[in-house]
Structure 1
Amino acid sequence: MFYQKEVLPNGVRILSQQVPHVRSVALGIWVDVGSRDESDSTAGISHYIEHMLFKGTHNRTAKQIAEELDAVGGQLNAFTTKEYTCYYAKVLDEHFGLAVDILTDMLFNSKIDEQDVEREKNVILEEIKMYEDAPDELVHDMFAKTIWSGHPLGRPIIGTTETVSSFTFEDLRSFMKSNYTPHRLVISVAGNVSHQQVVEKLTPIFQNLSGNEFSRELARPTHSSELNCRSKETEQVHMVIGSPGFSLKDESVYIAQVINTILGGGLSSRLFQEIREQRGLVYSVYSYHSSYYDTGIFGVYAGLSKQNVGQAMELIFKELKDIKQKGVTPIELQRAKDQLKGNLLLSLESVNTHMSRLGKSELYLKKVYKPEEIVEKLNKVTVEDTIRVANEIFNHDNFSMAAIGPWQDCGELKANLENLKG
């Protein structure tokens, strides 16, 4: 059987996939809350809570948490996104019980006391400063803020210096109590363990968890078509040009991924070959398409010298226009399909990937597609599909741009963008 699912009476969902040919197990606890669920004044609190769950419980110190998994060669980590938070571990199958014990201890018994909250505040503020010193990463947050101006999806996951500085341990406890509720929890397990073993181990721990059922009200963002230009003494200009994309529930997302692969998804992509290999204008250039519950985002990133910006922008828009008018060639289409299928199937050699697919698919789709089903969806993409979807995504009226560089003003950049969009 591909995977199995159990829903406890309180709403906690348990999914597992047995992979008998490995000796490992990956366990993930997914919470259906992220930076999108925060207000202006609580921006960054989901990420802050993620940090705090590693700071010790009433049963273990932070050092003991690390030592217990290190002692058996296990891995323990977590991450926060715009729409969910995940705590996960990977261990040998014989240590599955230990992984469950530690992760659930962190989830239910973390101290989150005043002293630790204040100490970790400095760590996160330093993380924000580090991020400010990485313009190649910062520009993507600027782009999201530009295209989704005023919407929670446009805010940085990490929060701001002002919001993080204001948080108290009562704020964190209150947010966690409101959002870490049974109906928002998904546990996914993949590896050399049976579904019966998973359910028998997890049910006694989660069945008595209580909390109000939360009806998530998501306001779909409206997009802006703007330029966000930031002056910073950098050696390179870092820029992102893009537009709204497709949600994970939209079947066009598969066509968008094929287009993205051809346009800027690797060393053989059009943008890489034309702008870097043929012209030598950039070191890094790529495109991406990210999907969320009810929307998506498409972007093209380039890092390059200031004097090459105008030419690079012209070449990017030329490639977008070409796909809109002509689509892609049959050879490109087949190569992109094979690349995406290869990436998918090779990734499934990892139990972490299996675990992640179970968790994310349940959160977003309430179902998990078999790899063969995804391959079938990719195989159905036609050249005509790429023209149709490219005209939806690459609508110049919807394009926004974010850029960081050593500008005196942004007049020339704005003129270039308006000229190319026109």
Structure 2
Amino acid sequence: MNGAVDLPLGTAELSFTAAGDALVRRTILPSGVRVLTEQVPGSRSATIGFWVAVGSRDERAADGVHPATFGSTHFLEHLLFKGTPTRTALDIAISFDAVGGEHNALTAKEYTCYYAKVQDRDLPMAVEVLSDMFTSSLLDPVEFDNERGVILEELSMAGDDPGDVANERFFEAVLGDHPLGRPIGGDPDTINRATREAVHEHYLANYRPNDLVVTAAGAVDHDELVAALERALTAGGWNLTVEAAPVERRSRTSVELAPALELTVVQRPIEQVNLLIGARGLVATDPRRSTMSVLNTVFGSGMSSRLFQEVRERRGLAYSVYSFAPSYSDAGLFGMYAGCSPSKAPTVAELMRAELGRLASDGITAEELRRATGQLAGASALALEDSDTRMSRLGRAELTLGEFVDLDEALRRIARVTAEDVRVLAADLVAQPFSLVAVGASEEADFAQAIDLPPTSDAA
């Protein structure tokens, strides 16, 4: 495979060999169901995922015709495990437990995925169970009310975690009123107000054949999987003979956002301040994503990174310190995190901003570039030892990127990144309005200097 492979929605069949002689195939059924597989030589297990491009950002307020759907995406993730006309919730759990498999689901900001990892011989079972859940969930009213309590407990658990609180408030501060700024799981108010009617409508509107993307990686035969899916989805009541085009991908153009919130302090009587500082970053398809990977690696990923060395090793101000750069279809973030005592938080905040300023003004060294390239290459190769990662890569390629990038192509892109590319991107980041979020025993006045710090200033 030389270069990325485009995944046009109008092409029914694609097949190519990726790095490591893995065979990648895609089939789009007439009904719009998309099936992608990566057959990995020597594998004895497989991971399969059922995806829809519906996440928390797609929920909406009531409009006079349709009820509000806030919280519905997370509700559905729970409810699809609660039973179908042919399987109880216990039956679903036993199906995977009895073969030593794993099964779960996740709600994200732009998609929902139900997945399982099993031995190769148990893949047909996984297809049957996941298809049944996906097509035929009862959304039982009693289970609905029970699960409301479970979700509220989950939200309470997250609310007791200052790191989770800081992360939610950081997205809100940076992205403002954009739907990506909303919490993925909803909040107690939206969950308490959610109705079965709204969740059921959300289910019917978004869990359709042309919404479904199935990805599988490991010990998987593409033709056998497609045939098994057709049987299982038909058994679940879907009419796969009705032709439909796959749903279009989201716009991948960066959107204009409202001004970011500069400073947010959440008072908590805890031993540490959970500190997040950052700004808007890159969208998922930005050609500078490889540059961002190098920048993030040099700056805040690993024990040799600048943040770790400056904040933890040289000054002993924090135990955990790192940077991150999540990206979505039309927006992205760049952030820096540290957990430290309240007395040290202002200094740590100033140091993190100053370090990014130095990266923007002075760039990185040839040695840092070489080390980052090696770190990314090794980490990427090791991650792909796991079929879970390969399955997720297929899903992201199909839903968001519109292209498949194998390990060799990813490393080629990273190898083309220059030190000047990293400096220019860092300069673009520091030119953005910054947001600071602190959760702990701090006051807004503590961070006045960190907020006002010029991008290239040094901290004491």
- TM-score normalized with structure 1 length: 0.95
- Say yes or no: does 1:133 pair with 2:160: yes
In structure 2, the residue matched to 1:380 is 416
- Say yes or no: does 1:265 pair with 2:265: no
- The structural deviation recorded for 1:273 is 1.0
* Residues 282 and 304, structure 1, Cα contact 8 Å, conserved in 2: yes
- The structural deviation recorded for 1:400 is 1.0
* Residues 277 and 335, structure 2, Cα contact 8 Å, conserved in 1: yes
- Say yes or no: does 1:414 pair with 2:448: yes
* Residues 27 and 90, structure 1, Cα contact 8 Å, conserved in 2: yes
Q: Distance in 1 between matches of 2:422 and 2:245?
A: 44
More helix by proportion, 1 or 2?
1
Q: Distance in 1 between matches of 2:184 and 2:286?
A: 24
- Say yes or no: does 1:78 pair with 2:101: no
Q: Distance in 2 between matches of 1:239 and 1:42?
A: 32
In structure 2, the residue matched to 1:188 is 215
**Structure 2 stretches lacking a partner, 5+ long:** 1-16, 19-23, 62-67
Q: Distance in 2 between matches of 1:143 and 1:221?
A: 18
Q: Distance in 2 between matches of 1:90 and 1:158?
A: 24
Report the secondary structure of 2:403's partner residue: coil
Report the secondary structure of 2:343's partner residue: helix
Report the secondary structure of 1:228's partner residue: strand
Q: Deviations over 1:129-159 (max 9, x none)?
A: 1111100121011000011111110010010
1:21 to 16, 23, 42: 42
How many residues are paired up?
420
In structure 1, the residue matched to 2:288 is 252
Between stretches 219-228 and 367-376, larger displacement belongs to 219-228
Question: Partner amino acid for 1:129?
Answer: S
In structure 1, the residue matched to 2:363 is 327
- The structural deviation recorded for 1:42 is 2.8
User: Structure 1 residues 326 and 417 mapped into 2: Cα distance closer, same or farther (>3 Å)?
Assistant: same
Counting aligned pairs with the same residue, the percent is: 41
In structure 2, the residue matched to 1:198 is 225
Q: Deviations over 1:370-395 (max 9, x none)?
A: 21000000000001111111111221
**Structure 1 stretches lacking a partner, 5+ long:** none
Q: Distance in 1 between matches of 2:256 and 2:192?
A: 27
Q: Distance in 1 between matches of 2:125 and 2:355?
A: 52
Q: Distance in 1 between matches of 2:90 and 2:55?
A: 27
Q: Distance in 2 between matches of 1:348 and 1:212?
A: 31
Report the secondary structure of 2:334's partner residue: strand
Aligned 1:30-49 pairs, distance under 5 A: 30-40=51-61, 41-49=68-76
Report the secondary structure of 1:29's partner residue: strand
1:124 to 151, 156, 161: 151
- The structural deviation recorded for 1:51 is 0.5
* Residues 33 and 85, structure 1, Cα contact 8 Å, conserved in 2: yes
- The structural deviation recorded for 1:214 is 5.0
- Say yes or no: does 1:366 pair with 2:402: yes
Aligned 1:131-210 pairs, distance under 5 A: 131-206=158-233, 208-209=239-240
Report the secondary structure of 1:101's partner residue: helix
- Say yes or no: does 1:398 pair with 2:433: yes
2:122 to 87, 90, 95: 95
- The structural deviation recorded for 1:44 is 2.2
Q: Distance in 2 between matches of 1:337 and 1:103?
A: 39
* Residues 43 and 155, structure 1, Cα contact 8 Å, conserved in 2: no
In structure 1, the residue matched to 2:26 is 5
Question: Partner amino acid for 1:379?
Answer: A
Give the alignment's Cα RMSD to 1 decimal: 1.8
Between stretches 221-230 and 99-108, larger displacement belongs to 221-230
Q: Distance in 2 between matches of 1:179 and 1:241?
A: 35
- The structural deviation recorded for 1:224 is 2.7
Q: Distance in 1 between matches of 2:321 and 2:165?
A: 16
- The structural deviation recorded for 1:82 is 0.2
* Residues 286 and 300, structure 1, Cα contact 8 Å, conserved in 2: yes
Q: Distance in 2 between matches of 1:6 and 1:342?
A: 31
* Residues 235 and 305, structure 1, Cα contact 8 Å, conserved in 2: yes
Q: Distance in 1 between matches of 2:228 and 2:124?
A: 8
Q: Distance in 1 between matches of 2:328 and 2:320?
A: 26
After the TM superposition, list the runs of 4 or more consecutive aligned residues in structure 1 that deviate by more than 6 angstroms. 210-213
Q: Distance in 2 between matches of 1:212 and 1:45?
A: 25
- The structural deviation recorded for 1:165 is 0.4
Q: Distance in 2 between matches of 1:205 and 1:380?
A: 45
- The structural deviation recorded for 1:216 is 6.6
1:234 to 266, 270, 288: 270
In structure 1, the residue matched to 2:64 is none
Question: Partner amino acid for 2:182?
Answer: R
Report the secondary structure of 1:33's partner residue: coil
Report the secondary structure of 1:183's partner residue: helix
* Residues 181 and 212, structure 1, Cα contact 8 Å, conserved in 2: no
- The structural deviation recorded for 1:338 is 0.8
* Residues 71 and 190, structure 2, Cα contact 8 Å, conserved in 1: yes
